[in-house]
Amino acid sequence: MSVDGRQCVEYFNRYADHFNLRPYIRFNTRVQLVKKADDYEATGRYSVTYQEQGKELVTEQFDIVMVCSGHHWKPRTPTFKGLDKFKGHAIHSHAYKDQVGYENKHVLVVGVGNSGACAPGSGRPVRRVARVLTAARALLIGRLALPQAWTWPSS
């Protein structure tokens, strides 16, 4: 079973609601500067300057800073030699909603990041062939097949 984008958003929303996190989340906010606060040596706090959409710059002190840059929001599409000559249909998995139009097609998935790794499973019932290309070493194992302890195989 794989999780599609809608299910992922639903999970994030339920999680935020369950733990009452929404009051602490600032959407549409651009962080201008993160630095150690003047009293960092004593407190370990950080000074964060940010601007919410349509508002003035604000600087606040925080104990912890998490960088959540939104990799689920804006797709990163790779470019490589020969792609412009490809006669088929090429999309980023961000635009893939369901298997309609891909029935009985040979599908090539490039990459094994969060979005690329989810796309192969979501169209399983109608696709004949799926292959995965990645520039880095990757080990693909069904998540239910993992033993209790796992060691990366030697080369």
Residue 89 is which amino acid? H
Domains, the chain? 5-62 (no CATH), 73-155 (3.50.50)
Between CA 63 and CA 133 the distance in angstroms is 41
Instruction: Note the pLDDT of residue 25.
Output: 86
Q: Are 49 and 32 in contact (CB under 8 A)?
A: yes
φ, ψ of residue 73 to 5 degrees: the values are: -95, -50
Between CA 79 and CA 95 the distance in angstroms is 17
Per-residue pLDDT of the chain (155 residues; tens, 9 = 90+): 456 667 878 888 999 999 999 998 888 888 999 999 999 999 999 999 999 999 999 999 999 988 776 666 677 777 778 888 888 888 887 777 777 777 777 777 776 666 665 665 554 444 444 555 555 665 555 555 544 444 555 54
